[in-house]
Amino acid sequence: MRVLLPFLALYRRHSLLICLGILLAIVTLLASIGLLALSGWFLAASALAGLAGLFTFNYMLPAAGVRGAAIFRTAGRYAERVVSHDATFRVLSHLRVFTFKKILPLSPGGIARFRQADLLNRLVADVDTLDHLYLRVISPLVSAAVVIIVVTYGLSWLDSTLALTLGGILLLLLLLIPPLFYRAGKPIGGQLTALRGQYRTDLTAWLQGQAELVVFGAVNDFRAGLDATERHWQRRQWQQASLGGTAQGVMILASGLTVTLLLWLTAGGIGGDTQPGALIALFVFAALASFEALMPVAGAFQHLGQVIASATRVKQVIDRQPEVTFPAGGPAAGNGAALSLQQLTFTYPGQPLPVLQDVTLEIAVGEHIALLGRTGCGKSTLLQLLTRAWNADSGSILLNGQPLSAYDETTLRQMTTVVSQRVHIFSNTLRENLRIAAPEATDEQLRDVLCQVGLEKLLENEGLNAWLGDGGRQLSGGEQRRLGIARALLHQAPLLLLDEPTEGLDAETEQQILALLRRHCQGKTLILVTHRLYGLEHLDRICVMDGGRIVEQGDHLTLMRQQGRYARFRQRISGIPLENGL
């Protein structure tokens, strides 16, 4: 139960609406009890009065009470639904924003252990489940407790013994039934939450990997596993529904037994009157109506196990500490970017071997550097350290003579432009996908940069208003990469970090893009990660990496004369002997 405390603390922000919703629920329940009890007494008293009662019995006052109670019940129920659901949606909105704010600083290190579909399920489905805490637990429990006290007090004016008997039975059921069904439903709720997350994660994997599953003929096997999870999930849902039916059955049985007991007790009289008359109907119908307040409580607590399981899954994410933290303030952004890397060593969490080992590199303002090497040699990891996606295990990184960790996040992002290997396209217009790099850019500037990267075809028809869709599915891989480069051109930063910017481009387009980047980066510091050799002769320095170390560095001509790894690599790719490659 302690796992719910952090989420209960968030309810304070909406305490007024929550309290109002509970108050309206109490008023509605009391109006319903009053309506049924008064109606039963009125009908019984009218029957006993008979025709003679036309002159002696006051029909108007009870009739007005019945109408008033009916109006209060109808209006109260409507208002309670409006207020309670409004409070619930506000709480859910707050919970989702709170959870997302906790998740955002974790990227990428802190969330690396979670699969994307599982993380999304925790953020959406598990947070949604937490609304049961108010609607199905807190509100019914508080309302039932208050209603029992008010009904007991009200009936005690007629007969204290009968009132305390009814109140004692209701209170005993309120104290015993919820814990009983909570214990019975806790394991089912936990399994339901786990199976829901597993099913949605597997379903997402099935949809995303549909092409590979079809090509390799593994669709049926994967689908069989998905169906097995679904059957298990449905079995647990059936068990929970059966438990809910059992809870309602127990309450109906308790209601019948309580009414029978009250009928037996009232046979001897009510309030000292040996002829209770119509008051028997009042007590009986009041007892029947009072169980309306207990019905939601019995079934609600079986869902508490599912709420606790969801809260635990969310808490597993929000309790994780960020791998990287930024200071509130730091050095101001400069017009240039000089980097100094001293003996950097880095190992990914849970991995036995380091990715980078004693990397030392000095980069002057305006210098253009290429990082070349085989896949897995640490090139992309080095860029991630420069953007502070991770912190190095040892060593230091200085930007303009200041430790990289001294810069606040806003300043560091202003000074750095990154084109990653995977360019994400948002489900939005072409204009908004570009303006994330330069919010103040005009439409003319956006059109100009699209033409520079060879994407002028995207301006046809709807132009900048064209909707790119989820993940930019209508764009090819090369078009997505060039859109990422267009963002880099719009973001005026002194340091550019490009990770395979020409991957997926044809040779002619690659030449155009590299020439464009060289022009744009005049006076800017450029670090280019690549495994392609075209255009490297135009860069100031080439650093060859292997096994997490820089094993060679120098300009194109120097490295070719040394006839080292870079020269052998070019000879192997081009087939030209080393002595002719100079």
Domains of the chain, by residue range, sit at 15-318, 339-580
pLDDT score at 52: 62
DSSP 273: B
Calpha distance 569→533 (Å, rounded)? 9
Contact 425, 433 (CB under 8 A): yes
Contact 87, 25 (CB under 8 A): no
Which of helix, strand or coil describes residue 356? strand
DSSP 467: B
State the DSSP H helix or E strand holding residue 497, giving kind and residue range, or none if neither: strand 495-499
pLDDT score at 1: 65
Calpha distance 17→145 (Å, rounded)? 19
pLDDT score at 145: 92
| Strands 394-399 and 402-403, sheet pairing | antiparallel
| Strands 541-546 and 368-373, sheet pairing | parallel
State the DSSP H helix or E strand holding residue 341, giving kind and residue range, or none if neither: strand 339-346
Q: Per-residue confidence of the chain (582 residues) as pLDDT tens digits?
A: 677 877 777 778 888 888 999 999 999 999 999 999 888 888 888 877 776 666 667 778 888 888 988 999 999 999 999 998 898 888 888 888 888 888 888 777 667 777 777 788 888 888 888 877 887 888 888 999 999 999 999 988 888 888 999 999 999 999 888 888 888 888 888 888 888 888 888 888 888 888 888 888 888 888 898 999 999 999 999 998 898 888 889 989 999 999 999 888 887 778 766 666 788 888 888 999 999 888 888 777 777 778 888 888 888 888 888 888 888 888 888 888 899 999 999 998 878 889 999 999 999 999 999 999 888 888 889 999 999 888 899 999 999 989 999 999 899 999 999 998 888 888 888 899 999 998 898 999 999 999 998 888 888 888 889 888 877 777 888 888 899 999 999 998 999 999 988 887 888 888 888 889 889 999 899 999 988 788 888 899 999 998 899 999 999 899 888 888 888 887 776 654 444 433
Neighbouring CB atoms inside 10 A of 301's CB total 25
DSSP 344: E
Q: How far is CA 88 from CA 1, 16, 478, in A?
A: 20, 12, 45
Q: Give the strand order in the sheet containing 394-399.
A: 356-363, 339-346, 394-399, 402-403
Contact 83, 75 (CB under 8 A): no
**Domain 339-580, what architecture?**
3-Layer(aba) Sandwich (3.40)
Contact 118, 310 (CB under 8 A): no
Measured over the CA atoms of residue 474, residue 478, residue 484 and residue 486, the dihedral's sign is negative
Whether 15-318 and 339-580 share one fold: the answer is no
What single string gives the DSSP state of each residue in 299-338?
A: HHTTSHHHHHHHHHHHHHHHTSPPS----S--PPPPSS--
Residue 83, CB half-sphere, CA atoms under 13 Å: how many? 20
Q: What is the CATH number of domain 15-318?
A: 1.20.1560.10
DSSP 440: T
Contact 101, 268 (CB under 8 A): no
